[in-house]
Amino acid sequence: MIPEHFGYSAPSSISEALSLLKEHGEDAKILAGGHSLLPMMKLRFASPSHLVDINNIPGLSYIKEEDGRLKIGAMTREVDLEESDVISTRYPIFTDASKLIADPQVRNFGTVGGNIAHGDAANDHPAVMIALRAEVEIAGENGSRTVPIDDFFYGFYMTAVQQGEILTEISIPSLGERAGSAYHKAERKVGDYATAGVAVVIEVDAEGSCTKAGIGLTNVNPTPMRAARSEEVLVGSKLTSEDIEKAAEYAAADCSPSPDLRGDEEYKRHLVNVITKRMINKAIQRAS
C-alpha cells in the first residue's frame, strides 16, 4: 500500500513550519511520529496534498518540571516518557500508559503531541491529560495560545488545533507530595486500542481526605471524557470503599460506549466500573 502523491517539506523552525502550513492551506498536514497518519494515508483514508514534517525542528522534545508545572514538548516520543526518571517517580500514570501504547517500535516514533492532536478518543494520552488537568500550548501565525484540555477535543479527529497551527507543548500542574496517579486499559492484545481505559489522579491531605480528583476515560465516548460526577463524589470524601464504588458506578453510567468487535455496551460499562475502582485504589496507594 502506497499513499497518494504529496509534497513534502522538513522545516527547521516553528516559524518556517507555520508559513509552510499557511502556504499549502487546508490540504497540508503535520507529520510528527507518523504512526497514525501514514497508515491512514496508505489506506487512502487521508490524502493530504502536502506534508510538513516537524521532526527536524529542534527544541520540541523535552520533559521538565518548572514554575510548578510539568512541561512535555509535543515531539517527546513515547519511549522518552517510558524511560524518564522524573516520569516514573513522580508521574507514574504516564509510565502506565506509555507501556500500553502500541509496541516498542511504534513508541520509538509516536509522540505525545501527536497522540493528542490526532483527536481520537481511542488514544490513551487524552484521558491521562484530562485526569491531570493539562493545558495545551498551540502556536499559530499570531503567537501562542493556551487551551485547557477540557476545551481541546471537539469531536472525532477534531481538536482545538486549527488549520495553520501547531501543538507545541503540554503542561500539567505539578502533582503534590500526597498525590498518586494511575492508568490502565483493557486491550485484546498488544498494540490494540483500548476496549476501555481509565486514568485516575488523586490527591489527599494529611488526614486522608481527598483534596483533588481527576478521572479520564479512554474509548468509551465519542470524545475523550472526564468522569465529572465520579470526581465530585471523591473530592472531600475519606475515600471509603463506598465512595470508590459510587465513583466507579457513575463513570460506568455516564460514559457512552459503542458496541464493536471489542465488546458490547454492557461489557464496556462493566470494564469502566472495574478499572475505575482499581485505578482509584492504585492512585491512593501511590499517594501514600
Contact footprint for another protein (CB under 8 A): 1-8, 10, 31, 34-35, 38-39, 42, 51, 53, 55, 79, 99, 102-106, 108-109, 190-191
Q: Are 254 and 221 in contact (CB under 8 A)?
A: no
Least Å from the CB of residue 96 to another protein? 14
Q: How far is the CB of 212 from another protein (least distance, A)?
A: 32
The residues, any chain, with a CB within 8 Å of residue 164's CB and separated by 6 or more, are 18, 21, 22, 140, 141
Write down the least CB distance from residue 126 to another protein, Å.
Answer: 21
Angle at 198 between CA 196 and CA 203, to 5 degrees: 175
- 102 or 166, CB closer to another protein? 102
* Least distance between another protein and beta carbon 85 (Å): 15
Three-point CA angle 77, 103, 32, nearest 5°: 35
Q: How far is the CB of 103 from another protein (least distance, A)?
A: 3
Q: How far is the CB of 152 from another protein (least distance, A)?
A: 26
Strand order in the sheet with 196-204: 179-186, 196-204, 210-218, 225-226
| Cα–Cα–Cα angle for 108, 129, 183, rounded to 5 degrees | 75
Cell numbers describing residue 232: 465530585
